[in-house]
Amino acid sequence: MIDHFGINCSDLDASARFYDEVLGVLGYSRQMDVGVAIGYGTEGHPDFWITRWHGEEPNREMHCAFQADSVESVRAFHAKALSLGAESLHEPRLWPEYHPGYYGAFVRDPDGNNVEAVFHRASPEA
């Protein structure tokens, strides 16, 4: 069900130093670093993300990604969310900067959180 989730940090560098150490003792490490976000996990799959936050304190949105079983499911998730009044953060598309085959869509839920549906095996023409 849960593919990955993330939290926003007011000081990404301090949070990265913290999570490098505390997750390291649990056997997890940085799997991806894209500058404004760092993903931790094992075996090339970042399950937990920390991201730089530039918004108002103390509220910070949370990010959660749900596993989808197809490109069509990602599209249906996005369409249903919009029909319920959700704000579209990112239309369904391939995200090759994450990895080949990553197809996702992002919406804002009623409480302002960033919610995603993702399918990891999309074809290049999706």
In a shared domain, residues 95 and 121: yes
Position 25 scores a pLDDT of: 85
Specify the CATH number for the domain of residue 43: 3.10.180.10
Indicate the residue among 34, 52, 70 that finishes a domain: 52
Position 22 scores a pLDDT of: 86
Assessment of whether the complete model's pTM goes beyond 0.75: yes
User: Is there a contact between 119 and 71 (Cβ–Cβ < 8 Å)?
Assistant: yes
CA distance 48 to 22: 13
Neighbours of 65 (CB within 10 A): 19
Q: What is the mean pLDDT of each run of 10 residues along the chain (126 residues)?
A: 91 93 92 95 94 79 92 95 94 96 93 90 94
Split into its structural domains, the chain has a count of 2
Position 34 scores a pLDDT of: 93
Indicate the residue among 52, 76, 95 that finishes a domain: 52
